[in-house]
Structure 1
Amino acid sequence: MPTLVEPSLAVHRSFLEAWGELEPHEERWMGAGGLNDQWTRAEAEDPEQFAQLIDAILAEADEETEMPSELVHQTVLWFVEADQWLGRLSIRHRLTPALLELGGHIGYVVRPSARRKGYATQMLVQSLPFAARLGIDPALVTCDSDNEPSRKVIQAAGGELEDERHGKLRFWVPTRVS
């Protein structure tokens, strides 16, 4: 069964294959978001560079890591089954005004060849205890107002629609089981 795990070298080849499947606007999900958003797929092919990418991703979760002022710390988890990289999920530790409006606490992507198998729902549900441990409850999760599959994922995880702003649906998802 696929599970959310910390990024590791174990899925290097599959990670690269997934990167190759993504559209250019989705590629941002593959690297470290704030510390070095200049990673390229070619660089990630080198095992040493890939290890550095993982280190940068893990550093983003460390509250001691200095982040650019416009970014927040985030915990990045990879959704894997054996050595297969299926997706990525990010939990932002706090919300800036912009994230409160548009981005939310949790974002996710599933590689194209693994879509429509229920993985996004599994990822979001599995992420909720991680968010709770970070003191997030409830978590804000957003999606484009015309993204029916993502809306269904969020609702299946217990999301309650608050409103629509700037073309985004805003849902609050409880992270603690009562």
Structure 2
Amino acid sequence: MSPQLIAPTVAVHASFLAAMDEFRDDGAETVAHSRTARELRTWATRWVTAEGFAEYVGQTGGVSSEERVDGVVPLSTRWWVDGDTYLGRVTFRHRLTPSLLTWGGHIGYGVRPGARRCGHATAMLRAALPVAHHELGIDPVLVTCDDTNTGSRRVIEACGGIFEDQRDDKLRYWFHPAAATAGP
């Protein structure tokens, strides 16, 4: 079986916990504006139990469809898994606020530290683009990365991202539906 994007599931509980330990060891809790950092602070003591993890999956797996006062836009999440092994996640922001237009984009992705440099980020983004375009109706799709993140820049470019500009420390790339099939 090869990795695939799926809705969050309790079937990968043990592997997910191992991945979160890897993120913690990699310093993820200290990254400002990181969803993983927020979740580690909020859920780490609860998702260790089957009940707590099921609650987390229930909240993560649904589509957050209502915009909140704090500017959080509707979003949905898919996990990149291989069998019962959690490898990473893709978050889809269904629309952009002015700050997301500059810094965040429509798609955010992360690969667990122990699975990096194996092609997962490129495969995840390639799998995510048709979801964004066809299932969520996002056209075009904006993906950003830090100007110092050479690996992410290469992933975005390998998937057909069209560079628009740099704003502050963020590189901004656009994907149109035809680009969703770009790459080898």
User: Equivalences for 1:14-163 in 2 at 5 Å?
Assistant: 14-22=15-23, 23=27, 24-25=29-30, 28-29=35-36, 39-59=42-62, 61-63=63-65, 65=66, 67-132=68-133, 133-163=135-165
The DSSP-based 3-state class of the residue aligned with 2:86 is strand
**Alpha-carbon distance between aligned partners in 1 of 2:125 and 2:96, rounded to the nearest angstrom:** 18
Shift of 1:168: 0.4
Q: Is the Cα–Cα contact under 8 Å of residues 79 and 90 in structure 2 kept in the other structure?
A: yes
Q: Is the Cα–Cα contact under 8 Å of residues 31 and 53 in structure 1 kept in the other structure?
A: no
Q: Is the Cα–Cα contact under 8 Å of residues 131 and 175 in structure 1 kept in the other structure?
A: no
Q: Is the Cα–Cα contact under 8 Å of residues 87 and 110 in structure 1 kept in the other structure?
A: yes
**Alpha-carbon distance between aligned partners in 2 of 1:42 and 1:165, rounded to the nearest angstrom:** 37
For residues 71-105 of structure 1, the C-alpha deviation after alignment (integer angstroms, 9 at most, x for no partner) is 01111000000100000110100000000010000
The DSSP-based 3-state class of the residue aligned with 2:155 is helix
Shift of 1:25: 3.5
**Alpha-carbon distance between aligned partners in 2 of 1:66 and 1:168, rounded to the nearest angstrom:** 24
RMSD: 2.0
Shift of 1:69: 3.9
For residues 25-76 of structure 1, the C-alpha deviation after alignment (integer angstroms, 9 at most, x for no partner) is 36733776xxxx85232211011111111111133x152x564441011110
Number of equivalent positions: 172
Consecutive unaligned residues of structure 1, counting only runs of 5 or more, are none
**Alpha-carbon distance between aligned partners in 1 of 2:52 and 2:37, rounded to the nearest angstrom:** 13
The DSSP-based 3-state class of the residue aligned with 2:177 is coil
Q: Is the Cα–Cα contact under 8 Å of residues 144 and 168 in structure 1 kept in the other structure?
A: yes
**Alpha-carbon distance between aligned partners in 2 of 1:91 and 1:175, rounded to the nearest angstrom:** 16
TM-score, scaled relative to structure 1: 0.89
2:170 aligned with 1:171, yes or no?
no
**How much identity, in percent, do the aligned residues show?**
44
